[in-house]
Amino acid sequence: MTITEAREQEEDNPPLLLDSETNSSPRRIALFVEPSPFAYVSGYKNRFQNFIKYLREMGDEVLVVTTHEGVPKEFYGAKLIGSRSFPCPWYQKVPLSLALSPRIISEVARFKPDIIHASSPGIMVFGALIIAKLLCVPIVMSYHTHVPVYIPRYTFSWLVKPMWLIIKFLHQAADLTLVPSAAIGRDLQAARVTAANKIRLWNKGVDSQSFHPRFRSHEMRWRLSNGAPEKPLIVHVGRLGVEKSLDFLKRVMDRLPDARIAFIGDGPYRDELEKMFSGMPAVFTGMLGGEELSQAYASGDVFVMPSESETLGLVVLEAMSSGIPVGSSCWGNPRYNSSRPGGQNWLSL
């Protein structure tokens, strides 16, 4: 049975957890997110910040448990709890935490959640699962990082199978699994992670007011092209990690001697990339935000995303909203089932 077939089969009796139209009373939601969407630069930072914001705007009470560094006391009225973290052995800049201390258990118990939502995979999701079972509360897991694809790039390939077993253990214990794209849902179903009728697509969108062609700026284009705004300008936005296949863009630039490329963002692979692109017309801006980020998107000629391991790739949607063509890998980014009418704004590298 496919995800679509399971959805059609349940139209008469949709899962209680998704019955938002008939159950609109305020809820109490405990959200476990690892690493922190307030300190760690990642694709789901804005996703979870907006999620919390909109839950609060709907009147829901929200308690957020996340890794401890850089966590404010509250966010849009949601209470935040930081859990002591440790670095991931294979990726030192990723903080992990079990979030199972007596302090956190008692805080969540006092909060009396109606539902627990945990990001997955990770370490904290284990703590969230245990607390959910202790409190007899339903748990939803949202799948955000395709770790089995990352593993061969960072450590031993033989760990891929054990990782799938861990993911299967976690999600079979969950009441519902949310996926950012239908393709990821098919991956999880093919791996028999959980039943098709327990997988649901969690649609996402972008702020089309913040990411819009009107932000195109000559000054920003001058900055990103290192003073050559008349040259073709390639733009990449995102975390600079080895799993993003950004070294592929070196080969692209070798074939386009007149082009300029700008990397907007930061990450553990930045130093290596700067060495790789040394002597080439490449600009590394570091992190940008607000109107500067909007201008960076809109001021390019083409946006590129060579990653083959994206679960969603919000930056591609933001680039499309900004009105520039998108070049992406055939396997990776187009997985989230979004395109403009007629198929424009899509290229394949």
- pLDDT, tens only, 117-172: 999 988 999 999 999 999 999 999 999 888 877 777 777 888 889 999 999 999 99
- In angstroms, the CA 24 to CA 93 distance is 39
The residue that leads in pLDDT, 298 or 311, is 298
Helix 124-135, helix 160-173: angle, nearest 10? 20
- For the chain, what is the largest distance between any 2 Cα atoms, rounded to a whole number of angstroms? 62
**Binning pLDDT at 50, 70 and 90, where does residue 323 land?**
very high
- In angstroms, the CA 197 to CA 192 distance is 12
Half-sphere exposure of 93 (CA within 13 A, CB side): 14
Domains present along the chain, CATH in parentheses: 3-201 (3.40.50.2000), 213-348 (3.40.50.2000)
pLDDT at 58: 93
Q: Is the pLDDT of residue 67 over 80?
A: yes
pLDDT at 55: 94
Q: Is the pLDDT of residue 346 over 90?
A: no
Coil, helix or strand for 337?
coil
pLDDT at 94: 75
Of the listed ranges 41-55, 61-75, 180-194, 268-282, the least confidently predicted one is 41-55
Residues in the chain: 349
Q: Is the pLDDT of residue 11 over 50?
A: no
- In angstroms, the CA 274 to CA 257 distance is 17
pLDDT at 19: 43
How would you class 14 by CB atoms within 10 Å of its CB: exposed for 0-12, middle for 13-18, buried for 19 or more? middle
Model's pTM, two decimal places?
Answer: 0.76
Neighbours of 255 (CB within 10 A): 7
Strand partners, 201: 179
Tokens of 217: 């700026």
Of the listed ranges 211-220, 268-277, 320-329, the least confidently predicted one is 320-329
